[in-house]
Chain A
Amino acid sequence: MADGPLIVQSDKTLLLEVDHPRSGDARRAIAPFAELERAPEHVHTYRLTPLGLWNARAAGHDAEQVVNVLLEYSRYPVPHALLVDVAETMARYGRLQLVAHPTHGLVLQATDKAVLAEVLKSKRTAGLVGDRLGDDSVVVHPSERGHLKQVLLKLGWPAEDLAGYVDGEKHPIDLSPTDPAHEDKPWAMRPYQQQAVEGFWHGGSGVVVLPCGAGKTIVGAGAMAKSGTTTLILVTNTVSARQWRDELVRRTTLTEDEIGEYSGARKEIKPVTIATYQVLTTKRKGVYTHLELLDARDWGLVVYDEVHLLPAPIFRMTADLQARRRLGLTATLVREDGREDEVFSLIGPKRYDAPWKDIEAQGYIAPADCVEVRLTLSDRDRMAYATAEPEDKYRLAATAAGKNRVVEQIAAAHPDDQVLVIGQYLDQLEELGDHLDAPVITGATTVRERQRLFEAFRSGEISRLVVSKVANFSIDLPEASVAIQVSGSFGSRQEEAQRLGRIMRPKQDGRTAHFYAVVSRDTVDQDFAAHRQRFLAEQGYAYRIVDAEDLGVVQ
């Protein structure tokens, strides 16, 4: 006991010493109930949360197991209060159960009458439940199944959902054994993808967290194959929708005819339908006009791509879909609006999570070198910055003229790489495009033009591309190996991670990817950068900080 790899803190964080010989065992042992919070180089931080503990209960672990794991791997005596708290928290799960009643339909049943009385007294459950069937059960409106579960979670009495899922309309889907894109060579899912699919299927619904470039689409395809039913896939934008379609055709037995696109441009409903969030949230005269899509077929599986971007209206609509299996996919489940919990309660708990560095170590994503380039502003710019209105300061600092020269310098240092320049402000991007003599893709660029440019970039026809935030997500650019970020949406952590994700596809020659963030020294730009980098830093991507003046030396 005196030599465990784990240190249990009284604030419910678990510190795992990575270099310890037993750290692997300890990691596997605590994974079911502890959330990985930070994974830098030496000590990984996990946290015990009620949600995590309840998920563990849902997965069949009990408090005794959790306590034993903590005691077994802990280096120091485990705080007694924490053990008591773990036991008490886990004991709260399952006092309430959602079951399918033969005559009353969906019913909330209590093994502890007092708990039922307590939750029914709460204002939050008003309207979600129907008639009392006795002092230990109450009818639940089927449409409020998700909402009720969410409310119960907030009240601290999570319900065990035993009502099961509808099977959905059967539609055979299989993974294709060969890969047409690679001369029909056989392929198979990677071990972690396999584990993710298994984890999801076992749990019923939930979220799979994998780094960018680690093949989340294939996890989706695997889940569809496992389900073998009609599937609705919700994605962020049209380009992404087409990538999904291509990937599904390549990886599964589905043909183009079986896959429909439901977007602003086309409204097809096929056994597998890919819809954009945008079209679902389109309102006309105050009503969502495309909601019927959700009921258009008896979907057996709903896949949410980039679930961290799920807009609030979709949350509400999704609440009605509780009887169907739901799979959320994301690389970065951090939301600056702090609604991670809603994702968990509506889509389902996290079913699989892998630290980026682990996947990198297995060679499935490219190693990345992150560099923050600090640019000292010219005296003229500093004066302008000092006297600017607060709301203009970020823009002024982020678009400082000196950045163009820095970007040129970096691009020049990578003559043989596919370089992506990413920014927020359009005029800055135009200017950079001119400097680098590279095409610019912004929100104004047509889908056709975008696809053409991306294709040209992929094939190596052009090696420099300047993009706005439209390329933040879901754009697959396998050969891009250098990204230069000049500006971003303030301090968004997941944007930073997603942008890094653009260059993390493993390269043919195993090259290291380079990610540069160009930052103006001593300005809000620097402060935001520090916040943006936090997620990646916690995933073990340590940023080197280089002064712009020293760039030549470093290269």
Chain B
Amino acid sequence: MASTPPAQRRTFPEALRSRSDEHLVALLLQRPDLATPSPSTLRSLAARATSRTSLDRATARLDALELQVLESVLVLGDQPPPRTPTSRPAPTRPTRGAPGDDGAVTVDRVLDALGASDADAPVVRAALAHLEEAALLWDRDPSPRTDLAVAPGLSEVLGPYPAGLGPTDPSSPLAARPADSLTPTGSPACIGTTALDDLLADAPPGARSILDALTWGPPVGVAPRADPVGREATTWLLRQRLLLASDERHVVLPREVALALREGRTHARPLAHPPEPDAPHFAEDTIAAEAARAAQDAVRLVAHLLALWQASPPSVLRAGGLGVRDLRRLATTLEVEEPSAAFVAELALAAGLVVDDGEDPPSFTVTVAGEDWLDLPLAARWALLAAAWAGSGRTPWTVGSRDERGTLRAALEPDLTRPWVPRLRSDLLSALADRPGTALTSGDLLEVLRWGSPRSVPPLQAIEGLLHEAHLLGVTGVGALAPTGRALLRPDGAAPVARTNAPAESSRSGAPVLTSSEAALAAALESVLPPEVDELLLQGDLTGIVPGRPSTALERLLEDAAEVESRGAAITVRFTPESLTRAFDAGRTADDLLADLAGHSRASLPQPLDYLVRDTARRHGRLRVGSASSYVRAEDAALLTGLVEDPSLRHLSLFRIAPTVLVSLVPAATLQAALRDRGLASTVEGPDGRVVRTERLRTTVRSRVGGRRPLDTATRGRSAVGPAVHQEDAAARRERYAELVPRLRAADDAALAAPPTTTTREDVAPEPRGTTEPPAALGLLRDAIDAGDHVVLETIDPTGQPTRRRVKPLVLEGGRLRALDPARDAELTVAVHRIAGVFTDAPAPTQDASTDATTNASAGAPND
């Protein structure tokens, strides 16, 4: 570390404290995990911000350029600073190092190290600003951006070889010379480069190419064994300390050499922009038309599913999913592939249209919301589906694969929810939105997303799955984002619109009310749908054609009365006796149906169709089927009429089905008793019509109440997945943070003002500043590691006794602290859970009474 006037240097928590409230709110918005649960002070916020988990999380969301910037700052921070502007221009442009800036990592140095051109500079600066806001970069110097550093703990997160650079080698021939030996005309990198060239002047053949191979990382290579030339070159390089042997078989390129080879740069070129895949472009019309087609299909398939499940609800597996056989049946009925059928089912579930009814045995039942949904206009139906999809964390593409235990994943299974799905979905849609009219493949999108978050690359399978879903739902057309899909993205192009409340709730008062975002979705679909057609061309071969998208009324008529033969921009239907029977079953009459058809037809009805309708109507219902529990028959029709009219027998619900036969819903025994009570000497017949003795008929039949129990959609069963992730509104979050930050600051101020409260033992002299709060303690340790400072560490020894010693923390990793005990000149490793407290190295430490006598945690030992 170069010596810097300590007065100007501050620690990470100090830097955090010096942020404005707004700036802190911005941090919390960037990294919500820091605010949940709310930290008590700014110091604990700082500790939390430097914890491994939080840093992992934060870096997972960085894009490739931001990571490069971080790596660059990290590497530059470890390197000696340039003192003067270089006289030797960098390959692209002159370096921007400002004279006399004292070894600090400046923006210009970062730009140079990245090899950023002038055009890239604004993007890099934006990345720097973003990283600062996220507290991954901070200013060591109070004046902004004069001495950048990465957040404590980040170097571990970035791995052993940041930017593909190997370990530093202090004894490297290229190691920075003492500051005074620097010539006023060269930056160390350039000096390194010239020095290296000198060194390599008499290198054996192959040495240069070995170095070249390792230059841009990874810095570790396998030492050649068989090849004599290679072996000789390696040996020479090792001897010159241009390579280091990391173990018996591997060599590693030290950082100094690599930087020299890189001419002082940390990266070959800045990844300033996401890759632009070479994908086909499509006209907006084509995309919109394809999306509209798919959207209509999606709505139709869901409606079909509801109709199917209304008729026969499939049972729920024990694990909560839909059985393979039921899925197959669904796929066959919908005439789609099984994966698509699984998606349709998931869509219906996500939109709350079907639900696990929780009965015994449970089955998937259509909800009240589902029934209401069926009555909505097409665009509104689609909007509800799309909104549900946008917020859903379901992963239907995994249906049919096996999990770790080898069990088949079933559709609608509660376990299929993944919290990262909505984010990935919005990333995908945004990536598509950034390239209008372009049909990106899943591979293309993977590359784009890899740039967007190299540390958490989404699985290709998930991208494929979501892309396919988007295609099926009509969010994309021909693979490019359609206007419908753009409506799913909020105006700021960030998160998809998600329905925050369950659709069932809004539907309780009647027809579902669309939220404004859903209305926007509906409008978007409306804008791409072809105009409605209310005309039906009826033909003599009993077919009919709607030359366009049918109006709702027409669609319903055709759904009732005809079989669809071909579907697309137009619909071809055929009228068959079966389809007409269906219409009559639904309560239509021949005249009503003919009038309806004629109303939609330009010409008069073809005679064959007219005849078919009437003929089918004639045959419809020639046989009647019903159920009754008992009957009364008599030769005397008048006597039976008397019974039907008798008010005292009304509870028997007698119904005449023939002049001489009445039926009743009550069991025969009850009927018999009632008739006897009225003084009629009835006898009971057996199934064969013979008279039986009454006593044998005492069994009562429990009448079953027909119909489905109305379902309370609010109390959903165990597969209540719905919109999976509860997405807190951004505005609400901002408000919460804005309240939180001043509280933190106040608590922090109070903690600083108050006397140390860590341990309250009387026999202890005034304590140095410190903490026993574990997160804060870790934060202090990280600060110390970062600054190379000493701390007083209180640990609990195996006997349960607290022990204090003064140490220099080295590495905090994997739940262990490695520290140097300067008094004993030994390294020690402490499990983090044994650390009871950490105290900054006080200028006048005291001998702790409780300290073990053998511990010579000698205070006051000079620091370096």
Contact = CB atoms under 8 A, between A and B. Distances in A.
To the question of whether A and B form a pair in one complex, the answer is yes
Interface of A: 7-11, 13, 15, 17, 38, 40-43, 45, 75-77, 79-80, 522, 534, 537-538, 540-545
A5 to B, nearest CB: 10
B619 interface: yes
Contacts of B570: 7, 9, 15, 76
Interface string B280-292: 0010011011100
Contacts of B285: 77
B539 interface: yes
Contacts of B268: none
Contact of B568 (A45, A79, A540, A541): A79
Given A15-B547, A43-B547, A544-B608, A75 B569 contact: yes
B540 A543 contact: yes
Nearest to A372: B608
Given A11-B568, A75-B569, A545 B286 contact: no
A43 B540 contact: no
Interface string B524-551: 0000001000000111111101011000
B540 A40 contact: yes
B811 to A, nearest CB: 57
B568 A42 contact: no
Given A10-B568, A15-B570, A537-B542, A42 B607 contact: no
Contact of A542 (B289, B545, B569, B607): B607
Given A41-B539, A77-B289, A543-B540, 11 more contacts: A7-B568, A8-B568, A9-B568, A13-B566, A42-B539, A77-B288, A80-B290, A537-B541, A537-B542, A541-B540, A545-B607
| Chain B interface main SS type | mixed
A41 B540 contact: yes
A8 B477 CA distance: 17
A19 to B, nearest CB: 9
A76 B569 contact: yes
A43 B289 contact: no
Contacts of B293: 10, 79
Contacts of A45: 566, 572
| Residue with the highest number of chain B CB atoms closer than 10 Å, among A45, A540, A541 | A45
Interface in B288-309: 288-290, 293
B509 to A, nearest CB: 38
A10 B612 CA distance: 30
A9 B540 CA distance: 21
Nearest to A20: B547
Contacts of A9: 566-570, 572
Contact of A76 (B548, B603, B606): B548
A538 B477 CA distance: 35
A373 to B, nearest CB: 12
Contacts of B547: 7, 15, 17, 43, 75
Interface in B592-638: 603, 606-608, 611-612, 615, 619
Given A76-B289, A76-B548, A545-B608, A42 B537 contact: yes
Nearest to B614: A545
B478 interface: yes
A522 B619 contact: yes
Given A42-B545, A537-B541, A538-B541, A13 B572 contact: yes
A79 B569 CA distance: 9
Nearest to A17: B547
Contacts of A15: 545, 547, 570, 572
A15 B538 CA distance: 14
Contacts of B608: 537, 542-545
A374 to B, nearest CB: 8
B548 A80 contact: no
B286 A80 contact: yes
A262 B288 CA distance: 65
A539 to B, nearest CB: 9
Contacts of B289: 76-77
Given A75-B547, A76-B530, A542 B540 contact: yes
B555 to A, nearest CB: 16
B482 to A, nearest CB: 12
A15 B533 CA distance: 16
Contact of B611 (A10, A77, A79, A545): A545
Contacts of A543: 540, 608
B520 to A, nearest CB: 24
A15 B606 CA distance: 19
Nearest to A533: B541
Interface in B474-526: 477-478
A17 to B, nearest CB: 6
A538 B612 CA distance: 17
B126 to A, nearest CB: 38
Contacts of A40: 539-541, 543
A455 B676 CA distance: 85
B478 A80 contact: yes
A538 B565 CA distance: 14
Interface in B260-294: 282, 285-286, 288-290, 293
Contacts of B548: 7, 75-76
Contacts of A77: 285-286, 288-290, 569
Nearest to B611: A545
A38 B541 contact: yes
24 contacts: A7-B547, A7-B548, A7-B570, A8-B568, A9-B572, A13-B568, A17-B537, A17-B547, A40-B539, A40-B540, A42-B537, A43-B545, A45-B566, A45-B572, A76-B530, A77-B288, A79-B568, A79-B569, A80-B286, A522-B619, A537-B541, A544-B607, A545-B611, A545-B615
A519 to B, nearest CB: 12
Contact of A540 (B478, B540, B607): B540
Contacts of B282: 80
A156 B147 CA distance: 69
B698 to A, nearest CB: 41
Nearest to A77: B289
Contact of A43 (B288, B539, B542): B539
Interface string B673-714: 000000000000000000000000000000000000000000
Given A13-B572, A79-B293, A542-B608, A43 B567 contact: no
Interface string B558-576: 0000000011111010000
Contacts of B615: 545
A534 B603 CA distance: 22
B149 to A, nearest CB: 53
